[in-house]
Amino acid sequence: MPFWKSARRILINLRNSPEEDLANMPESRIKIWILASRPKTLWAAVAPVMIGTALAIADGKVHWLAAFCALFGAVMIQIGTNFSNDYFDFVQGADTHERLGPTRATQAGLISFSEIKRAAVAAFGLAVLAGVYLLWRGGWPILVIGSLSILAGILYTAGPYPLGYNGLGDIFVFVFFGLIAVGGTYYVQALSIDAVVLLAGIGPGLLSTALLCVNNLRDIENDRKAGKRTLPVRFGRRFGQWEYAGSLLLAALVPVFLVIQTQSHFWVILASASILPAVRDVQIIFKENPGPIYNRVLGNTGKLIFIYSALFSLGWIL
């Protein structure tokens, strides 16, 4: 991109950006890339790996090298997806100066199109590198899981029928950040899988869906203008509010169901208790109009994913 066009974009976004965004605008390249990686969303990648590893530990089948590679691969796929989304959301008009969320690096002119594309390819490439060992250990199921995960990460905002633009993002997040991530992490260690493992994956899947739901509710008006048909855009704000509350409630019930099902691992109920502080966030979602306050709910929900998964893992091992 010619320098004058890049400079013009930066000046336009500086003029149109809210003052609070300008005050927090990163001053170094490292901070810019950290911003672009969307660190608040990375817990959604870490959480299911924690739970899958805890299940393997409890069954005496833990394999630490496989667990590390699964964690590294999951985080790299998430970062690659975030970089890809940063690029395609701006290209398709979903990210403008009117958005209420944190500054997007491409939209703000902080990172060029070519840079963000190369970064996405690099992140996915590192995920593939970790997947080589997992493929050697786990065989063709890992090839299928890894390929679908990377493909879905790209197609979330790209391609002729982007998932996030057609109301399918919630299903993608639930399946890939819940069932597949927990099940895949367990499988590469134990080389087997059972129904309890998949049931345990429902919790982080629902919480990751709740994280996406907050994002979609916050951006509902901007998404509607851009033709991004998320579930709140399709079915209304009230649907999104109940989707958020319902995802949290069902996630809290998962440990209870597992205790009843297994008649053991009673300490896992601690994970259910971790949902209680989120009542305040549910109240904000129902009472406050979409705005910057939703960014606080987004951050709290990201932390909740980690706390829930940490307590679930600890409780399952105890």
Tens of pLDDT, residues 157-166 = 777 788 888 8
**Is the per-residue pLDDT at 16 higher than 80?**
no
Give the model's pLDDT for residue 21.
42
202 domain residue, yes or no: yes
Per-residue model confidence as pLDDT tens digits over 66-120: 999 999 999 999 999 888 888 777 666 555 555 555 556 666 667 877 888 888 8
Nearest Cα to Cα of residue 213 among 145, 146, 278:
278
Residue 40 has pLDDT above 50, yes or no: yes
pLDDT of residue 117: 84
**CATH assignment of the domain containing 143:** 1.10.600
Alpha helical stretches, state H, the chain? 3-16, 19-23, 29-37, 43-58, 64-91, 113-138, 140-155, 169-174, 181-190, 195-200, 202-218, 220-226, 231-235, 237-262, 269-273, 279-287, 293-317
* Higher pLDDT pick, 214 / 101: 214
Within 13 Å, how many C-alpha atoms sit on residue 302's CB side? 15
DSSP state of 59: T
Alpha carbon 11 to chain centroid, angstroms: 31
Distance set, CA 312 to CA 204, 281, 297, 307 (Å): 10, 21, 22, 8
What percent of the chain has pLDDT above 90?
Answer: 62
Q: Does any domain span residue 19?
A: no
pLDDT of residue 19: 32
Taking all residues of the chain, what is their mean pLDDT, rounded to a whole number?
Answer: 86
pLDDT for residue 164: 80
Place of tokens 């939209």: 107
Question: Is residue 107, in this structure, part of any structural domain at all?
Answer: yes
Range of the domain at 222: 31-317
Section 141-158 average pLDDT = 87
Report yes or no on 58 lying in a domain. yes
In a domain, 276, yes or no: yes
pLDDT at 24 over 90: no
- The mean pLDDT value for 237-242 works out to 96
Compute the distance between CA of residue 8 and CA of residue 211 in angstroms, rounded to an integer: 34
Number of domains in the chain: 1
Alpha carbon distance 68, 170 (integer Å):
27
Confidence band (pLDDT; 50, 70, 90) for 52?
very high
First CA to last CA distance, the chain:
56
With respect to residue 84, please indicate whether it lies within any of the assigned structural domains.
yes
Q: Is the model more confident about 99 or about 241?
A: 241
- In this prediction, residue 301 has a pLDDT band, given cuts at 50, 70 and 90, of very high
Dist CA 57 CA 42 (whole Å): 23
Interatomic CA distance for residues 77 and 81, integer angstroms: 6
* pLDDT (0 to 100) of residue 106: 66
Contacts for 206 with CB less than 8 Å, ≥ 6 apart: 174, 178, 247, 248, 250, 251, 254
154 within some domain: yes
Q: Would you say residue 25 lies in a domain?
A: no
The mean pLDDT of 246-264, rounded to a whole number, is: 97
Task: Please give the average per-residue pLDDT across 175-203, as a whole number.
Answer: 96
CA 101/CA 246 separation, integer angstroms: 23
Instruction: Measure the CA–CA gap between 6 and 3, rounded to whole angstroms.
Output: 5
Q: How far apart are CA 247 and CA 90, in angstroms?
A: 29
When pLDDT is averaged across residues 287-305 and rounded to a whole number, the result is: 92
